[in-house]
Chain A
Amino acid sequence: MNKTRLADQPYLIRPCTIVYILLITLTILSWLIGKSGISGLHVAMLVLLFALLKGLLIGDYFMGLRSVRGLWRWPIIVWLFVPGSLITWAFFITA
């Protein structure tokens, strides 16, 4: 019990708040890209990358998986990586 959890440590701004701001930023960026109407494989991939990053942030910080050792660290990461790759592939083959 000598490792205190993230949420218990005294910070000026909590780590999870910083994560929150990051998430909002990435979201608005994606939305702006969508609004601008730019299409193209690279743009789509960038938006997907933002989504996967957001997923990783939620998994690591909100779900608390960052401090988990062993097998259970990985399912969310795998879930982001595998469908992410499939989606990438599906977009590639039509570009």
Chain B
Amino acid sequence: MKYQSQAVAKPYFIAAIGLFIGQIVFGVILGLQYVVGDFLFPEIPFNVARMVHTNLLIVWLLFGFMGAAYYLVPEESETELHSPGLAILMFWIFLVAGALTVLGYLMVPYATLAEMTGNELLPTMGREFLEQPTITKLGIVVVALAFLFNIGMTILKGRKTVVSLVLLIGLVGLAVFFLFSFYNPDNLVKDKYYWWWVVHLWVEGVWELILGSILAFVLIKTTGVDREVIEKWLYVIIAMTLITGIIGTGHHYYWIGAPEYWQWWGSIFSAMEPIPFFMMTVFAFNMVNRRRRNHPNQAAVLWALGTAVMAFLGAGVWGFMHTLSPINYYTHGTQITAAHGHMAFYGAYVMIVITMISYAMPMLRGRDAANSGKSQVIEMWSFWLMTVSMVFITLFLTAAGVLQTYIQRYTDDPQPFMVVQEKIEIFYWMREVAGVVFLIGLVVYATSFFIGGKEPEEA
């Protein structure tokens, strides 16, 4: 670890893993509630478990991004972080605010939470993924601004690299687009139109810049390939991301009451959204092939390559499957959506955060470059357990979704929703088994931090 202040990344990473475990526990609960409808009812109804599952995902990924930035920016800028104290303060504020929010979801009825937190003063609650009370959202803005200030000042006073600049643009974009969560029009069409300015422009926009820059950083460090080569690839990748993703927002505007031309624009541009992910895959494998050395942290390299592949499959391929408007007409809101959503989020964002943690944590804990062989083996087991089980989750949900689309919508004699749900129940059971394996993989991952600590570092 080259700079002392990089150490602030450690609490962020620990919180990220902790919240990730919470997220998956609730995921397993949800999966069971799909097939045993009153499991944990009325203490934790389905909609509450869902809020906890999705909100925890976003929050732990944000902790991960912030930790990643706090680790890589000082190293890229070749200077200490502007204010480590501010970073730690923001850590605790974000953690406490997040914990209180989740407790709020669990302990009181949502309407009561709205009342308690003064939602009527500036109503922002009640929308998917943006269920947080307004005061929590305001807290997120404050934390984000402080974070951007800290990172920005560090980059300003030090060396400006393509990696840190792309990361900064991505993070600024993340903050700016989050502001749209405060815009809550009465008109339902406009409500949905602008909701996607947070969600789509995050995950199919600025978050891809964050993903690309972190991947580039890890590849520079672990392969030793010339920085210029990697930076050029990064530029092309993010250019493709923005060209395809911005107007590609239109693939969410097909059926909400927006003008018909969105069916054309959305289809044409979003059809190309897999391209940057394909490029990332070629890029990652190319760099590793051209490597100038064998970095001792082979686990991190595995995670990096895995991220590129799974992001391409989950976000790129599965996304493409339902992005064209004539197809989406039938598949909209079915289990196809869930299949894509899970593999995309896991492949792109969960995995890039884990890649960064895998790379940085050994050094944050005092190692020179990597964990012991024993620890890495356990970590690589967790990679395969989580990744393969996620592939199965996706395949099962895809099967469920295809059947659902056909029987409920496409066939000449469409069946009612619940009739169809009964028919595809078998796939929900299989998904749940895969989900439990995923949780096991995650537990194995967590244990890798506690094993092999006394063994010598892998050479």
Is any CB of A less than 8 Å from a CB of B in the complex? no
Instruction: Using CB atoms and an 8 Å cutoff, list the residues of chain A in contact with chain B.
Output: none
Instruction: Using CB atoms and an 8 Å cutoff, list the residues of chain B in contact with chain A.
Output: none
